[in-house]
Structure 1
Amino acid sequence: MTHHINFKGEKTVPVEENQTILQASLAAGIPHYHACGGKGQCTTCRVLVLEGQDKLTPPTSYERTIKKVKQFPDNVRLACQAQVTGEGVEVQRLIRDETDRFILIDDTEENRRSVMGERRKLALFFIDIRNFTPFIEESLPFDVIHIMRRIFALFKNAITQYDGEIIDTAGDGLYAVFGLNSKIKQATESAVLAGLKILSDLTIFNNTYMRPYFNHTFEVGIGVHVGKVVVGNVGIGLSHNLTVMGFPVNIAARLQASTKELNNSFVISAVAYRLLRNPPYAVGCDYLNLKGVSTPYEVKMIGKPYEVKEGAVLPKAIQR
């Protein structure tokens, strides 16, 4: 009996009984990679099953072994092993040219996010240092870098203590996520606890180090939100840093930015706040008009008012 399989973006090809997906694609002229010769000894022929997963034969012993090592999701199959048993199957080749082959064949990959990407619900955490520009203008380059390293070490310690992962740094701020290894409620709790620890540790750092040695203190703005995001690795950095993208990330960043106008060091979305089992006291609630969001966004303020208005030390002539 002949069935058909649709290769997304390429063509629909016939598949004969007892014929593998790889054999069918090669017969139809599709340049399907198969470095081991279609013997189940590599992963270059793997496909992502978009539809009709139940219309394929069960995974073979070769597939089960490779899946255990590579931790592929269930909808990734080896084309040299899978056969079609019915209509309605659609797949996508994951390695379509030499660039794909270079990116996707990595014997050191630790998990499926490295090559596949996935959608996850995470707690998103943004933090930015306030009143840092005046310190830069008044200090030696060595002191600026030294203090930045001290403060970022403080951030990192709190974030990693609560099982968060730093995704990116930019200037005097950073972006982290929580929930890669936990459920969303625990992730949100962890993000809040990390933020509160940073606020506490920064107060100690100001009182014991910054004020006596530099006659300066720092404050921060923290924004936390939760939502479904895409987690993966674009593979262009030397450290192959994880990438987390999606609209909820933008919301979290804007909440952090709103700490200035709300005059509160820690702003969390009401959506995230409701996930907390033991929420900290919220000193206020507000509705923000955020770019790209049609309705006002409810937020809770769980930090403290700023002691120093950012930009207050600047000469009047250049204030805006």
Structure 2
Amino acid sequence: MSFSLKFKGEKAIPVEKEQTILQASLAAGIPHYHACGGKGQCTTCRIMVLTGKEKLTPPTGNEQVIRNIKKFPANIRLACQTHVLEDGVEVQRLIRDETDRLIFVDGNVADTIGEIGERRKLALFFIDVRNFTPFLENNLPFDVIHLMRRILSIFKNAIVQYNGEIIDTAGDGLYAVFGLDSKIREAVDSAVLAGFKILEDLRIYNNTYVRPYFNHTFEVGIGVHAGNVVVGNVGIGLSHNLTVMGYPVNIAARLQAATKELNNNFVISALAYRLLKKPPYSLGCGHLNLRGVSSTYEVQLIGHPYLGTSNASSGKLLSGPPDQFLL
């Protein structure tokens, strides 16, 4: 049994009883956008029901969740979740342009992270060179670029050794993730091991090269967190299009920035710390009130104080009951 469904401004199509509106529209050659692959996990296939909304199946659980979040009115439905029960329904697609038509051909969607994105639980790793500006001001451009390449190579080698993926670089720092091909506990272990290797390799580099030849010592700040993020490919023609986005990414970046105030070069969230199989010794803990973040975050300090500073660092390195402070 089939019913007739009209797409405003396009055409009327047949819809079989077992087909969703999305399946029927794709079968009829309508380039209906569906970024999640028709699984009810996004809103890109949504339609506006112009007439006959009572002739459609009730909203599914996925639809109800999305409707509550997005505050959609009753006449907005997800085509991938909706079936037609009778003739006399007219709908209108809400997302339609030529770019959408090029992404999906014949209704086939690539089920890869790169094409449609995917929710993953990953370990998030941020690192930044702490005292690079003085070196930049007092040395020739060639020397600056040369040493920065060497330092970034140290970062990269450690991250790759422990199966991490560098997502972005900015100036004298970078952002990487661990866990694209492993479970979250292994991912956090790998992130911490990579961080410790970087600290050790940088110590050797300072002692054997930077201090003897340039009378300088580089230090870094590392922040590690873990959480659910969205992994996808932005696909804008660059050589490296993988991106990872989400609330935990911002937290990891803030932890890296907090290493200065905490006077410790390696800060890990307590959440990630508890996932470690063999947690390293922690010099102290604290609760951070991060700007723009509503809840406090407990952290563990698993690195070392910066050179030339005391362990107290204005009283922010905590050895007793944790206090709260704003960063």
TM over 0.5: yes
C-alpha displacement of 1:87: 4.3
Residue number among 41, 50, 54 corresponding to 2:40 in the alignment: 50
2:85 aligns with none
Mapped contact 2:37–2:111 kept (Cα < 8 A): no
2:126 aligns with 126
Report percent identity of matched pairs: 69
In 2: Cα distance, 1:255 partner to 1:46 partner: 32
User: Secondary structure in 2 aligned to 1:50?
Assistant: coil
Q: 1:2 to 1:254 in 2, by over 3 A?
A: same
Mapped contact 2:120–2:228 kept (Cα < 8 A): yes
In 1: Cα distance, 2:152 partner to 2:171 partner: 11
1:283 aligns with 283
User: Secondary structure in 2 aligned to 1:227?
Assistant: strand
Q: 1:187 to 1:6 in 2, by over 3 A?
A: farther
User: Secondary structure in 1 aligned to 2:201?
Assistant: helix
Letter aligned with residue 254 of structure 1? R
In 2: Cα distance, 1:286 partner to 1:154 partner: 30
2:203 aligns with 203
In 1: Cα distance, 2:35 partner to 2:252 partner: 39
Q: Output the TM-score relative to the length of structure 2.
A: 0.70
* Cα distance per residue 1:77-118 (max 9 Å; x no partner): xxxxxxxxx94684359x94321244557xxx9961111101
Mapped contact 1:229–1:246 kept (Cα < 8 A): yes
In 2: Cα distance, 1:128 partner to 1:25 partner: 49
1:212 aligns with 2:235: no
User: Secondary structure in 2 aligned to 1:48?
Assistant: coil
In 1: Cα distance, 2:148 partner to 2:110 partner: 31
C-alpha displacement of 1:197: 0.4
Mapped contact 1:4–1:87 kept (Cα < 8 A): no
Q: 1:13 to 1:259 in 2, by over 3 A?
A: farther
User: Secondary structure in 2 aligned to 1:305?
Assistant: coil
Mapped contact 2:31–2:100 kept (Cα < 8 A): no
User: Secondary structure in 2 aligned to 1:251?
Assistant: helix
Q: 1:14 to 1:288 in 2, by over 3 A?
A: same
* Cα distance per residue 1:38-71 (max 9 Å; x no partner): xxxxxx99952328xxxxxxxxxxxxxxxxxxxx
Q: 1:47 to 1:295 in 2, by over 3 A?
A: closer
In 1: Cα distance, 2:167 partner to 2:14 partner: 45
1:32 aligns with 2:30: yes
C-alpha displacement of 1:286: 1.0
In 1: Cα distance, 2:11 partner to 2:35 partner: 17
In 2: Cα distance, 1:5 partner to 1:303 partner: 63
Superposition pairs of residues 1-320 of structure 1, within 5 angstroms: 1-2=1-2, 15-16=15-16, 24-25=24-25, 32-33=30-31, 48-50=38-40, 87=57, 90-91=78-79, 96-103=96-103, 112-308=112-308
Mapped contact 2:270–2:299 kept (Cα < 8 A): yes
* Cα distance per residue 1:247-284 (max 9 Å; x no partner): 10000000000000000000000000000010110011
C-alpha displacement of 1:241: 2.0
* Cα distance per residue 1:219-240 (max 9 Å; x no partner): 0000000010010011124214
C-alpha displacement of 1:201: 0.4
* Cα distance per residue 1:144-177 (max 9 Å; x no partner): 0001100000000000000000000011110000
Letter aligned with residue 252 of structure 1? A
Q: What is the root-mean-square deviation in Å for CA atoms of aligned residues?
A: 3.6
Mapped contact 2:36–2:116 kept (Cα < 8 A): no
C-alpha displacement of 1:188: 0.2
In 2: Cα distance, 1:233 partner to 1:23 partner: 25
In 1: Cα distance, 2:104 partner to 2:14 partner: 27
In 1: Cα distance, 2:2 partner to 2:102 partner: 35
Letter aligned with residue 251 of structure 2? I
C-alpha displacement of 1:292: 2.9
User: Secondary structure in 1 aligned to 2:150?
Assistant: helix
Q: 1:20 to 1:270 in 2, by over 3 A?
A: closer
Q: Which runs of 5+ in 2 are unaligned?
A: 42-55, 61-77, 81-92, 310-327
Count of residue pairs brought into register by the alignment? 260
Q: 1:20 to 1:174 in 2, by over 3 A?
A: closer
2:68 aligns with none
C-alpha displacement of 1:297: 1.2
C-alpha displacement of 1:217: 0.7
C-alpha displacement of 1:6: 11
C-alpha displacement of 1:120: 0.5
